[in-house]
Amino acid sequence: MNELDDAWELALAEARERARGAGRRDIAEYLDLRHRNDLLRRTAIDWLRQSIESLAGEANRRGAGIQVEHHDDHRFKVGSATMRGMQLTLRSGVRALSIESGWPRTPRDGIVRGGGLALANIRHFGRPRLNAELSLALSAKGAPQWLILENSGKRLPLTEDCLREHLSFLLTES
């Protein structure tokens, strides 16, 4: 977490305590929910980043030569909303694979449409048909789960095999 995230966590904790002290159980419950959702978001974004970095590391050990760039304070638009989170870019020759993920942090940023906790994009430079949009939801067990948003409206779970396939597209010539 960066300093702004640390300050935000501290401010939320203080606000929860003030709400409890003032007898505002409704506000305290909302802030508890916000805290739990933020933890789920961070966990899911960390999994996404670590999974693709691990796969790139495996490919590099086999001689792929993938360069990895990571930015923690990345902003991107989804519709009229602004997501704030991370961006990971993998480069191989002239090809690039970019993964951005985040969620709106302030009311001014907007909301995640469709009931998701966070959003992510997987983008292939120069190959838009390979791109994927992701939404973070909760599984039946209450765990965070990235879903691929298909054009047909279907939502399919994002797996490590899906990430491996995106990485293979980065490394193929055609």
Nearest CA-CA partner of 83 in 31, 35, 135: 135
Specify the pTM: 0.86
24 pLDDT higher than 80: yes
Domain that holds residue 73: 3-171
Q: What is the mean pLDDT of residues 130-142?
A: 93
20 pLDDT higher than 90: no
Provide the pLDDT confidence category of residue 34 given band limits of 50, 70 and 90. confident
In this predicted model, what pLDDT tens digit does every residue of 56-86 receive, in sequence order?
999 999 999 999 999 999 999 998 999 999 9
In this predicted model, what pLDDT tens digit does every residue of 99-134 receive, in sequence order?
999 999 888 999 898 778 999 999 999 999 999 999
Listed in sequence order, the residues at least 6 apart from 28 whose beta carbon sits closer than 8 Å to its beta carbon are: 16, 19, 20
Q: Domain tally for the chain? A: 1
